[in-house]
Structure 1
Amino acid sequence: MARTTTRPSGRLLTVAEAADRLNTTPRYPRRLIEERRITFVRIGRHVRIPESALDEFIAAGVVEPMRLRGRRAA
């Protein structure tokens, strides 16, 4: 099986910076990394999350509002 690699673009965020951006505790980004649900970069024993990967993760969770048919404003 061929392994594809993608180059992260943008700034590399620490786990704490990613948590601040997601408005959570550092536990949540660490869980995303552990479950391999987000792209991350290992630099020695440090882990960084590319800003572009965080943007993609946030965009994937966006839910568009539904328009109700047949309803009119009163």
Structure 2
Amino acid sequence: MPSPSAPERYLTVAEVAEILGTTERFPRRLIAERRIAFVKVGKHVRIARTVLDAYIEANTVPSVTPRRSGLRRADLRRAA
């Protein structure tokens, strides 16, 4: 997050694609579907770094710790 005195950083579609590790088509699709906020300056489209960070955070899926059942393999054979 930028400090209050630092100006907001706006990224090009190419920069967003590089950060996300995708082609430029993916951020353009996000823009076309209005799934991410953007700024249009003339014919140029820019995405604020804070908006991209929020998008990444909102779409991050946490890992799941596998649950172990109460029965072990050997116990399964006896139960059957």
Structure 1 equivalent of residue 17 of structure 2: 19
Q: Which runs of 4+ in 1 moved over 4 A?
A: none
* 3-state SS in 2 of match to 1:57: helix
The CA RMSD over aligned residues, in Å, is 1.5
Q: TM-score, normalised by structure 2?
A: 0.71
1:19-39 per-residue CA deviation (whole Å, 9 max, x = no partner) reads: 000011100000000000001
Residue segments in structure 1 that go unaligned for 5+ positions in a row: 1-8
Any gaps of 5 or more consecutive residues in structure 2? 1-6, 70-80
Count of aligned residue pairs for this structure pair: 63
> How high is the TM-score relative to the length of structure 1?
0.76
1:47 to 41, 45, 48: 45
Paired residue for 1:64?
Answer: 62
- SS at structure 1 position matched to 2:40: strand
Which has the larger Rg? 2
CA distance in 1, matches of 2:64, 2:22: 27
- Percent of aligned pairs with the same residue? 52
